[in-house]
A and B are shown apart, each in its own frame.
Chain A
């Protein structure tokens, strides 16, 4: 089993990222189940996408990942990565964007959202990569491809982890090239070039050094 989670805020594209992963796994002949946990609101609420992949004929039963069973957690937003952290394996890989989305509810409740503290907390996860998504988005020219940037970052981090003798399985399923192939299945034609360049720029910015 390979369990991948994508945690973000509504509108950040976690559902599309899950779809890209699902198609890649299906192309590789693996069984896939995916699901989203979404709140009531249309936008601005927490969204966690669960992609559960059964390799070698393994059945995937439940649509949602149980506690401590995710191999990879991709955070599109630090607070949301923290919220989903209990689902990640103790030795699982966390890849998270550093840009926070504010929470007016926290503000009103007098419990302001301190991104720096949240990121410090995320850095305690043994296998983690915090991605400067702001810088990457500036270079790409917009925040739309954030989901694809984070998928590419996860591929690179996973390959790095595997090269260090600690494979989480994600890098075996995905390569930068297979990511681009799946993008063509899942993204509207006029956005393919933008997303592919986002993948390349990310791969360049986060090289696999131990290989």
Chain B
């Protein structure tokens, strides 16, 4: 078996495939998306045999589909990001009562920071709320083993099991041995077998709740006997305990290695301590952890997001009449939010171990600078819409069409959330998937003096926009829905969706038309434009905005990641007056002032050649060659995914 460099998400995919997973479904969301993409690629290449893999319309659809598959005895894998589990939670809460036959693992990726999410919610907490077991890997290698074990555990107790990595596990890579091919475990011959337990009903739920409560202690014992809660004692008779969860385990281990080196360099002894990883957080593996705290007086807990392990240790301490003190997020001995790091663990461990403060110092090449260069800093590179991104033209045109009319621009989840940045400044609200359309309705009801508009991308529209549209028509809300259709799920890495017709299994389905969906829901005023063309876009926006009642604009042009760039635009310095309207109104990354600061300049390597800046320039000083060809910018997709 050749060694292959696999990203965490790829490794988890391989782990599930080697465990015989038969049906894999989910909805894209950073940092989880690469798992399904890996399964799809291995299926396409004939390596993962017998597997069905799909991007479902949203997380709820995916989990319900998998529940059906698991009832037949198939091994199933669900994937999403942490907030995706909120969408699927209705199904999950009940499914744990109903139970599964084939093993079901929910791969739910949490995002401390958060780096690319709305919340810092902790899926370990969700697991205990749902009474579903959860495994929390510290490395991709441990996660690989956990994923395989999770299927066994799921089948042993007929319960869904959550595997919860975090961003740094999902997106870090290491080498793995992988087989030449994998085979999905066949579904038992009898397939779906009728049984009362598949129908949730209050009386059955009462009984099922008892079954859940009975099995959790057994699961906790299995977890305590697993390899996933390793304990190591350094020195003799330690009074200090270091308890970690997830990737913080790796951070603390590395910080402790630095500390050991520093103690050795300074010729002082390393204090004794016991190191404990809690890799199976819920139900808490008390049998493994309780004896490990024997003789310990002070405990520090490193975990991210919520204080889950900390709470369990406080409870354990009380239940067992122990006398150790537990420190962590609650008393701010560790960070109460955001990511942990080696640097941060080093600071806190040096203090916890009672070592000199200078043991925590990390010197770097950035430290020593001569006086005048002290303030030199890196250029700002906040996330911005790409050059050639169709959303830029859509936002700009809508704002042009509104002129000075008071309006509230409700945004949604996707690349287009970046429309909030200056200079576009075109997102006034953003809450959760699909919420823009419904928030706009609330604003139109409560503040009718302002025009309420809702921007939503194509993938988000299918995932959770449709119910909002139906509500707008049914209750006759005066809103304008702006569909930003770039023919992909761009932000999470260009996944297909129902509007593209591409499936992960290969055959194309007929693309589902957003316009027909809007029509069917009863939206009668629907206008269209290619957002790279300013005039037609402003015209389409003006017509929809002035309509009384629910209306829609469909801005359609492919994501620039899907197309080959056109010839870059050029600035005619004779005509350019240096008004910088192109730079200051659109914020395109390919536009900057020239070195003298007198004219606009197009960076030819960054420019996608869409030509929008040519439309925006009031002096006709920008020439986009594509505009001379008479073709629509980026029509069709020539690069393909």
A139 within 8 A of B: no
Chain A minimum-CB-distance residue to B344: A66
A61 and B379 contacting across the interface, CB-CB below 8 Å = no
Please state if A125 and B365 are interface contacts (CB–CB under 8 Å): yes
Q: Is B606 among interface residues, defined by CB-CB distance under 8 A?
A: yes
* B285 adjacent to chain A (CB < 8 Å): no
**Could you tell me if B561 and A44 are in contact, using CB atoms closer than 8 angstroms?**
no
Q: Please, what's the 1-or-0 string for B176-193, where 1 marks a CB less than 8 Å from any CB in chain A?
A: 000000000000000000
Are A105 and B382 in contact (CB-based, < 8 A)? yes
Query: CA A87 – CA B332 in complex, angstroms?
Result: 26
Asked, given contacts A33-B174, A36-B171, A101-B606, whether A109 binds B380 with beta carbons under 8 Å apart, the answer is: yes
Residues of chain B lying within 8 A (CB to CB) of residue A107:
583, 592-593
Q: Measured between C-beta atoms, what is the minimum distance from B170 to chain A in Å?
A: 10
B357-376: which residues lie under 8 A (CB-CB) from chain A?
362-370, 373, 376
Q: Is B383 an interface residue (CB 8 A)?
A: yes
Q: Indicate if the CB atoms of B343 and A66 lie closer than 8 Å.
A: yes
Residue pair A105, B381 in contact (C-beta under 8 Å): yes
Interface centre among B5, B116, B169, B364 (most CB of A within 10 A): B364
Give bound CA distance, A179 to B105, whole Å. Answer: 41
Tell me the nearest residue of chain B to A105, going by C-beta. Answer: B380
* Shortest beta-carbon distance from B458 to chain A in Å: 16
B387: chain A residues at CB < 8 Å are 44
A204 at interface by CB-CB < 8 Å:
no
Tell yes or no: A169 within 8 A of B by CB. Answer: no
Cβ contact within 8 Å between A124 and B381: no
With both chains docked as a complex, state the minimum distance between the C-beta of B483 and any C-beta of chain A, in angstroms.
20
- With CB as the reference atom, state the residue of chain B lying closest to A73: B365
- The distance in angstroms between the C-alpha atoms of A101 and B590, with both chains bound, is 9
Report yes or no: A23 in contact with B380, Cβ–Cβ below 8 A. Answer: no
A34 CB contacts on chain B under 8 angstroms: 5, 172-174
Is A104 a contact of B591 with CB atoms below 8 Å? yes
Chain A residues contacting B373 (CB-CB under 8 Å) are 117, 120-121, 124
A34–B174 alpha-carbon span in the complex (Å)? 6
Closest to A25 in B: B175
Cβ contacts under 8 Å, A62 to chain B: 247, 250-251, 253-254, 341-342
Residue B68, interface by CB 8 Å: no
Residues of chain A contacted by B378 (CB below 8 angstroms): 46, 79-80, 82-83, 118
CB distance from A144 to the nearest CB of B (A): 11
Contact flags B238-262 to A (C-beta < 8 A → 1, else 0): 0000000001001101100110000
Determine if B605 is an interface residue (Cβ-Cβ < 8 Å). yes
Proximity string of chain B (50-68) to chain A, C-beta cutoff 8 Å, 1 when within and 0 when not: 0000000000000000000
Stretch of B200-208, B313-321, B394-402, B415-423 lying at the A interface? B415-423
Distance in Å: Cβ of A127 to nearest Cβ of chain B = 8
Least Cβ–Cβ distance between B255 and chain A, in angstroms: 8
Count B-side interface residues using an 8 Å CB cutoff.
66
Whether a CB of chain A sits under 8 angstroms from the CB of B584 is yes
A70-102 CB contacts (< 8 Å) to partner B = 73, 79-80, 82-83, 85-92, 94, 101-102
Verify if B35 is at the interface (C-beta below 8 Å from A): no
Which B residues between 419 and 443 are near A, CB-CB below 8 angstroms?
421-423
- Asked if A112 is an interface residue, CB under 8 A from chain B, the answer is yes
Tell me the bound Cα distance from A40 to B115 in angstroms.
7
Is there contact, CB below 8 Å, between A44 and B363? no
Tell me how far the C-beta of A85 lies from the nearest C-beta in chain B, rounded to whole angstroms.
Answer: 4
Partner of A35, one of B115, B171, B254, B382: B171
The contact string, 1 if C-beta is below 8 Å from chain A, for chain B 331-347, is 00000000001110010
Contact A61 B376 (CB under 8 A): no
Of A34, A35, A79, A113, most buried by chain B (CB within 10 Å of CB) is A35
Inter-subunit contact A33/B173 (CB<8 Å): yes
How far in angstroms is the closest Cβ of chain A from B226? 21
B173 touches A111 (CB 8 A): no
- B346 surroundings in chain A (CB, below 8 A): 66
- A residues 169-192 touching B (CB-CB < 8 Å): none
Chain A residues within an 8 Å CB radius of B589: 44, 102-104
Q: Is the CB of B174 within 8 A of A64?
A: no
Task: State whether the Cβ of B490 lies closer than 8 Å to any Cβ in chain A.
Answer: yes
30 contacts between A and B (CB under 8 A): A19-B5, A23-B5, A26-B3, A33-B174, A36-B171, A38-B171, A40-B116, A40-B491, A41-B384, A42-B493, A44-B589, A61-B139, A62-B247, A63-B247, A64-B342, A66-B343, A66-B346, A80-B378, A89-B363, A103-B379, A103-B380, A104-B583, A104-B590, A104-B591, A105-B379, A105-B421, A111-B380, A117-B376, A125-B365, A143-B605
| Known interface pairs A41-B385, A64-B342, A89-B363; 8 further A-B residue pairs with C-beta atoms within 8 A, sorted by A's residue number | A35-B171, A36-B171, A40-B115, A41-B383, A102-B379, A107-B592, A111-B380, A124-B370
- A-side interface residues toward B, CB under 8 Å? 9, 19, 22-23, 26, 31-36, 38-46, 59, 61-64, 66-69, 73, 79-80, 82-83, 85-92, 94, 101-109, 111-113, 117-118, 120-121, 124-126, 143
9 smallest CB-CB distances across A and B, nearest first, come from A63-B172, A68-B364, A83-B378, A41-B383, A35-B172, A113-B379, A103-B379, A66-B342, A88-B365
